[in-house]
Amino acid sequence: MTRKLNALSTLTALFTGVASLSALASPAPQPLSVPEASPEMLSAMQRDLGLTPEQSLRRMAVEALAAHTEKRLAAQLGDTFAGAWMNEEGTQLIVGITDEANAPQVLREGAQPKLVTRSLAQLERMRTALDQNASRSPRGIHAWSVDITTNRVVVTAVDEALAKAFIADSGLSAEDVRVELSREEYRPLYDIRGGDAYYPGNARCSIGFAVNGGFVTAGHCGGVGTNTTGSGVAQGTVRGSTFPGKDQGWVQTNGSWVAQPWVNNYAGGVANVAGSNDASVGSSVCRSGSTTGWRCGTIQARNATINYANGPVYGAVQTNACAEGGDSGGSWLSGDQAQGVTSGGSGNCSTGGTTFFFPVNPILQEYGLTLRTSGGGSGRAVRSRLNNKCIDIPNSNTNDGTQLQMWDCNGTGAQNWTWYSDGSLRALGKCMDVAWGSVDAGAIIQLASCSGNPAQKFVLSGAGDLVNPQSNKCVDIVDHNTNSGAKLVQWTCTGSANQKWYQ
């Protein structure tokens, strides 16, 4: 609590000196405090934006107020509004206008007006024309978007002539669209997630745990040099493999794959990986695999030797959880701690059996790998002042559209929310979101893939209101329900206890 108060005191002092937004006219919202920034966030902003921690706090304060200012001006200026953006220093909101008569209104809001030719609505119509022609866009047209800072639409492509032909075919003038050349073609990114299937050659195995640069798995799944695929696309190459003696391997993935600190729980969600502390004999343990999904049991013995026909494997861990073919290499967790990768066993998941896993820590040590983890608490629970329960992702279900609820606080990743510098509030790799970007009271508060859109930006005010600036409405517990399972929506801010939050 002392750290939070000190951070907010520093922020208040910094904000007092920010002149660019200090003259907000009525009915401006009350000054909003920025949620406490984690050391990791401040460090990343210092590294990537060249800011000190104090500059980072000040920038977040200004940006939080700028979001409210932009929303008000967009509504007030109507068809003459041409977008709003922060200057390079992050200290001043600039607002594009197509009518010079609106400049005083922008200045009264503490923003800087800029006279431009095209309104935001016109720019969006041009972008939509390109969207409607997307199915006919040739290979080499990489992307297109509205650049409000230059008041033009931008097409990124490998060749200027190719881009101009696409623009003309979409019914647009070359004067309205800027072409940027890039030889790098954009590609989809795939998550490396424990328990998911991957294919070394013609075989099928399961990912163990994501590490920086790839993932660990069982050695018997493929020898060094074996190429792997996943999700129907090229994935990587086995760089380390030992079997028998040990049953360990690691796959180095290509740039289309992103290592995530999660394991597929085969219930529509994920389990967080916070570390790799070895669990004691008798501890519960659960495993994830692409054949039989999520199965649990207890640890029966450590440092067991498995006498396979191929030769013995030493140092394994024996369990009474079941597994079947294709589960090999998959993840074992005790709580949120990584334990190992599936090696083999007997029986099946119909009649039961004995299954062994090879410990993860020796694999990491031998190959010099770093386990991808959630940070073990870098985020924090968001609690209600109504009932002291926590905002929760039901059953850790990370499917887009999962409505958030209230639940008894339990310290799991489903309640571990982290504020990001873009204003989003994230857990299990997804963002808190207002469904369909609605500004209406009653729209559900859900989980969704992070996209940077305004429906995923929230501000925790000094009064404890959790506000979406786009709608200017508060996160609300439906019907003041104090029970676990109560659903969340956005509602007109009333100051009532079912809209009050703290961390």
Domains along the chain? 2-115 (3.30.300.50), 120-181 (3.30.300.50), 190-367 (2.40.10.10), 383-502 (2.80.10.50)
Section 275-286 average pLDDT: 86
Phi, psi of 288 (to 5 degrees): -125, 130
What's the rounded Cα separation, in Å, for the pair 209 and 193?
A: 7
| pLDDT of 493 strictly over 90 | yes
pLDDT band at 38 (very low <50, low <70, confident <90, very high): low
Q: What local confidence, expressed as pLDDT, does residue 134 receive?
A: 84
159 catalytically annotated:
no
Q: Give the rounded percent of residues in the chain with a pLDDT score beyond 90.
A: 51
Q: Show Cβ contacts of residue 226 under 8 Å, excluding neighbours closer than 6 positions.
A: 200, 201, 237, 238, 241
Query: 89-101: b or e for each residue (b if 16 or more CB lie within 10 Å)?
Result: ebbbbbbbbbeee
What's the rounded Cα separation, in Å, for the pair 154 and 163?
A: 10
Q: What local confidence, expressed as pLDDT, does residue 398 receive?
A: 86
Are 381 and 390 contacting, i.e. CB atoms less than 8 angstroms apart? Answer: yes
Paired with 459 in beta bridges are 467
9 catalytically annotated:
no
What's the rounded Cα separation, in Å, for the pair 466 and 61?
A: 15
pLDDT band at 464 (very low <50, low <70, confident <90, very high): confident
What's the rounded Cα separation, in Å, for the pair 382 and 411?
A: 11
Q: What local confidence, expressed as pLDDT, does residue 463 receive?
A: 77
43 catalytically annotated:
no
Q: Show Cβ contacts of residue 31 under 8 Å, excluding neighbours closer than 6 positions.
A: 15, 65, 462
Section 27-38 average pLDDT: 45
What's the rounded Cα separation, in Å, for the pair 360 and 261?
A: 14
User: Between these two residues, 377 and 48, which has the higher pLDDT value?
Assistant: 48
Q: Is 315 exposed, middle or buried (0-12, 13-18, 19+ CB in 10 A)?
A: middle
DSSP-based helix, strand, coil % in the chain, nearest 5 = 25, 35, 40
User: Considering only 131-140, 151-160, 367-376, which range has the smallest mean pLDDT?
Assistant: 367-376
| pLDDT of 1 strictly over 70 | no
Q: Write out the H or E segment, with its range, that includes residue 261.
A: strand 257-264
User: Between these two residues, 207 and 281, which has the higher pLDDT value?
Assistant: 207
Cite the beta strand spans of 177-254 per DSSP E: 177-181, 190-194, 197-200, 205-206, 209-211, 214-217, 227-230, 233-242, 248-253
The residue from 328, 374, 384, 461 that is catalytic is 328
Q: What local confidence, expressed as pLDDT, does residue 500 receive?
A: 93
Of 311, 297, 304, nearest to 347 by C-alpha is 297
Structure tokens at 310: 């191929």
DSSP 8-state class, residue 352:
B
What's the rounded Cα separation, in Å, for the pair 127 and 180?
A: 15
The residue from 220, 241, 433, 461 that is catalytic is 220
Which residue carries 């800027």 as its tokens?
178
| pLDDT of 37 strictly over 60 | no
The residue from 247, 327, 336, 476 that is catalytic is 247
Q: What local confidence, expressed as pLDDT, does residue 90 receive?
A: 81
Highest mean pLDDT (candidates 37-41, 52-56, 276-280): 276-280
**Per-residue model confidence as pLDDT tens digits over 87-115:** 888 889 999 999 999 999 999 989 999 99
